[in-house]
Amino acid sequence: MIKRLPATTKKVCFQTDPKINAKIREQTVRSLKYYQDADKNTVASRIEELNGEWDTERVLEVNAASVIILSSLIGLLRCRGYFLLTGLVSLFLLKHALEGWCPPLPIIRGMGIRTSEEINHEKTVLKMMRGDFLDVDNSVESMLHAVEKQ
């Protein structure tokens, strides 16, 4: 039987220790409670901060690309054995793309780095608090605009 791949939006959380997932969620709840009674400008500033927050994918991509570049350079200039590291990192990157796991993931998640979906959940709740969805009509364009706002 073929193993089914996890959904793209859930793959990292699925591969993360439930205690770490809970800790990250608790931090999001604390952040939301902090902004619950804030004015619209303060909430907008937080949303802007979240737009710049690095998610797990970006951290992993930068990490993998850095190791691949470095090991390739060392392989070219010093020792061909480093090309094995280049290949190994590429395999781990492929495993992450398919299943959501790679060796640095537990460390990255343990540092509290969130997935893009987790970040977007916080942004959506902040937009709800700000009132972005109160006067939205049922047209697809209006609803999409409300979700995309900032």
The domain limits of the chain are 16-148
Distance CA 143, CA 127 (A): 12
Handedness of CA 39, 42, 45, 51 (dihedral sign): negative
Handedness of CA 42, 47, 51, 53 (dihedral sign): positive
- List, in sequence order, the alpha helices (H) in 78-135: 82-99, 105-110, 116-130
pLDDT band at residue 2 using 50, 70 and 90 as cut-offs? low
Q: What is the model's pTM?
A: 0.89
Handedness of CA 12, 17, 19, 23 (dihedral sign): negative
Distance CA 15, CA 108 (A): 12
Question: pLDDT digit string (tens) for 100-126?
Answer: 999 999 999 999 999 999 999 999 999
